[in-house]
Amino acid sequence: MNDTGPTEVGDTCRRCGTQITAAVLSCPSCDALVHASRLKQIAAEAESASAAADLTAALAAWREAIDLLPPGSRQYDNISAKIAALGEQLEKGAVPGPAGSISDHKSMIAKGATGLGLGALLLFKFKGIVILLLTKGKLLLLGLTKSSTVFSMLLSLGVYWAAFGWMFALGLILSIYVHEMGHVAMLRRYGIKSTAPMFIPGLGAMVRMRQYPHSTREDARVGLAGPVWGLGAALFTYAVHLVTDWEIWAAIARVAAWINLFNLIPVWQLDGSRGFASLVRPHRWIAAGAIAIAWFLSGESMLILLLIAAVFRAFGSQVPERNDNVVLVQYVALVAAFAWMTTIKVTVG
C-alpha cells in the first residue's frame, strides 16, 4: 500500500497544515490519508497472514483497512479487489489455513452442502452428530461468554417457560442459539466483525454486523449459514426423540424446523432473501420449483409463502451476473429438509 502522506489523526494535516477532525479519512485539501501509519501496519499484517495461508485473518485485516479509507479512492478500490479475490479463494477452499483454524483443509461451505445432502442419513448416524458438536463446541460456547447474550437468553427462556414449560423452552432457546451461531461462524470465517447473539422474547434472536459482507455471494453464505446450523440442531433434537421416545423432543424439532423454514422466505432481511440475492434468474425458478414440490409432498402451508415470494423474486430485475451453485444447492436442500421435518408427528398429552 502506498503512503500518500504523513497524515495522522489530529487537529491539523501534517502535510499541508489544514484543520482536520478525527472523523475524516483524508485531508480535504491535499487528500493525504489520516490513518496512513495504521494502514501500513494493517497491510503488513494482511500480507503476513496471506503468506501463512490464513485467509480468514487476511480478510479480517483488509476489512479493517478498508474502513479507514475514503470510498472511491485508489487505495479503497485496490483493497476492495483484494477482499473479493480472497473471498473467492475462501469459498473454493483453494488454500488451507493453519492447523486448527476455521479455514482448515476443506471449505466449510462445501462441507455444509455435502452435509445437507446427507441430512436424512444423519438422523441414524448419531456418531456424525456427536462429531459435529465436538468440532464446533468451542465456537458454540463463545456466545455464552457474553453477558448480553446470556441475560437476553434467560429472559426469553423465562417467557417461553411460562408459556410452554421448561423443557420445551430450553430446547427451543438452544435451537435458536445454534441458528444464530451459524451466522457468527460464517462471519468469522470471512473476517467480518459482529456481535454475539441477542435474544428478543417472542421474536427469536439476532446478530448485528459491525462490518458488512463485500458481495452478495458472501452475504448469501452468511445468511444461509444460520439455517444450515439450525438444521443440525433440529436433526439433533429429533435424534434425541428417536432414542428416548420423548414426544417433547419431537415437538422441539418440528417447531425448530418451522422457524428455520420461515427464515427461508426470500423477502425483507430474512435469510432466504439474502440467499436469493445470489441466485441468477434460472436458479430462482429452480428454487421455486423445488418449493412447489416440497409443498405438494408435505402439505406445509408455510411453503405457500415461500413459493409466492420466490416467484416474485424470479421476476425481479435485480439478479447477479454469475451463477452461485453452492447457494442454490444449500437453499433447495434446506427447504426439502425442513419441509420433511414439519411432517413429524407429535402426540400431545
Q: What is the pLDDT of residues 81-99, one digit of tens each?
A: 999 999 989 888 744 333 3
How far apart CA 237 and CA 246 sit, in angstroms, is 10
Contacts of 154 by beta carbon, 8 Å cutoff, 6+ apart: none
Grid cell locating 261: 423454514
How far apart CA 73 and CA 297 sit, in angstroms, is 53
Environment class of 58 (CB within 10 Å of its CB; exposed 0-12, middle 13-18, buried 19+): buried
Of 26-30, 97-101, 271-275, 337-341, the poorest mean pLDDT is in: 97-101
Nearest to 339 by CA among 276, 283, 296: 296
Q: Specify the higher pLDDT residue, 292 or 27.
A: 292
Q: Is the pLDDT of residue 303 over 90?
A: yes
Q: Is the pLDDT of residue 44 over 50?
A: yes
Q: What is the pLDDT of residues 181-197, one digit of tens each?
A: 999 999 999 999 999 99
Environment class of 283 (CB within 10 Å of its CB; exposed 0-12, middle 13-18, buried 19+): buried
Contacts of 299 by beta carbon, 8 Å cutoff, 6+ apart: 343
How far apart CA 107 and CA 338 sit, in angstroms, is 24
How far apart CA 197 and CA 152 sit, in angstroms, is 9
Largest Cα separation within the chain, whole Å, is 79
Nearest to 168 by CA among 155, 153, 157: 157
pLDDT at 299: 97
Mean pLDDT in residue range 122-137: 50
pTM equals 0.84
Predicted confidence band at 235 (pLDDT cuts at 50, 70, 90)? Answer: very high
pLDDT at 91: 83
- What DSSP string runs through 189-238? HTT--BPPPEEETTTEEE--BSS--SSHHHHHHHHHHHHHHHHHHHHHHH
Nearest to 214 by CA among 13, 63, 11: 63
Q: Specify the higher pLDDT residue, 97 or 145.
A: 145
Q: Is the pLDDT of residue 177 over 90?
A: yes
Which helix (H) or strand (E) segment is 166 a member of? Answer: helix 166-189
Averaged pLDDT score across all residues of the chain: 85
How far apart CA 73 and CA 137 sit, in angstroms, is 42
